[in-house]
Amino acid sequence: MRADKQLSWLYAASSTFGVLNLICMSVAWLYWTRTLNTCQTSDTDYNHSNCGCILYGVWGEFTFKGGSAGFCYFVTLVTIPVAIWSGLLALYHGYRGCCSVAPIKMTLITKDRVKAINTQLWPLGVIVFLTFMSGAIFLLMTVSLLVQVIGYNMTCQQYKKFIVAHLNANGMLAKAIYERLPCEVSYDLMDFLQPDPNFLDYRYRRGSSIIDTDLMLKISMWSNVMIILIYFVITVVNVKCSRMPKVSMVLNTEL
C-alpha cells in the first residue's frame, strides 16, 4: 500500500525527533540538577524532595531553586517509549511498503459476482489498535509539551527576580527587566551567573563548562511539536485506512 511508505517515513521522522528531544532535555536537566537542587541543606541531605529540574524554577529569599524533579522525569522519559514505538513501526511499514511481494489486489470470480480483494489492507482490529495508539501518543505528547512550555516560561520569569536582586535594580530598570527582557537573555544570564551551592562537592560543580540552556530547551520543545504534528497526520491516515473496504464488488452477474 502507498500508505505503508508514507507511514514508514512519518514514523521514522517521529523516532528521530523523539531521540533529539530526549538528548536535549537530558543535557539541560542533568547539567542543572545539582546546581538548582537548593531545597536540600547539604549534598547528603535526602530528607527534602529533589528540586533540581530546570523547569518550574523558583526564586526564593536568598537562592534560586529548580522545580520538582518529577517534571523533568516526565518530559524526558516520556519520549523513550514513543521513539521505540515509532522506530519499530517505521521498520514494519517500511518492509510492507518496499519489500513485500504480495499483490496489491486479487480478483475473485464466483458464480454470480466478481470481487476485488485488497490483500495488503490491514485487518480492522489492527487498524483500530494503531489508530488508538497514535491518538494516545498525540495526547500524551501534547501534555508533555504544555508541561515544558509552562515550566520554561516559569523559570524564565522567576529568574528575572534573581537578575533584579543581583543587579540591585529598582525603578524603571527593574521594570524593564521584568517586562522587556526576553527569555533567551534570561537563560543566557543564568548560564553565566547562577552559582553552585556552597555545600556542593567540588567534583560535581560545573566549573568552566557552560551549555546553551535556552537552545537545548527550545530544540526539545520544537522536537515535541514535530512529534505532535506527525502523530496527528498518522492518526488521520489510520482513520482513512479503516474506512477502506477489504472486499469490493466489481461486477454482479446475477440475472
Q: What is the pLDDT of residue 80?
A: 95
Place of cell 516526565: 74
Q: Residue 220: name the closest of 152, 160, 132, 136 by CA.
A: 152
Predicted confidence at residue 121, as pLDDT, reads 60
* pLDDT per position as a tens digit, 176-232: 999 889 999 999 999 888 877 777 666 667 777 889 999 999 999 999 999 999 999
Low-confidence ranges of the chain (pLDDT < 50): 42-43, 45, 101, 103, 106-111, 114-117, 245, 247-255
Q: Tell me what pLDDT residue 38 has.
A: 81
Q: What integer pLDDT is reported at residue 215 of this predicted model?
A: 95
Distance of CA 126 to the CA centre of its chain: 25
* pLDDT at res. 251: 44
pLDDT, residue 248, reads: 47
Count of positions (residues) in the chain? 255
Q: Please count the other Cβ atoms lying within 10 Å of the Cβ belonging to residue 167.
A: 13
pLDDT attached to residue 168: 85
SS (H, E, C) the chain: CHHHHHHHHHHHHHHHHHHHHHHHHHHHHHHHCCCCCCCCCCCCCCCCCCCCEEEEEEECCCCEEEECHHHHHHHHHCHHHHHHHHHHHHHHHHHHHHCCCCCCEEEEECCCEEEEEECCCCCHHHHHHHHHHHHHHHHHHHHHHHHHHHHHHHHHHHHHHHHHHHHCCCHHHHHHHHHHCCHHHHHHHHHHHCCCCCCCCHHHCCCCCCCCHHHHHHHHHHHHHHHHHHHHHHHHHHHHHHCCCCEEEEEECCC
pLDDT of residue 253: 47
Note the pLDDT of residue 247.
46
End-to-end CA distance of the chain: 35
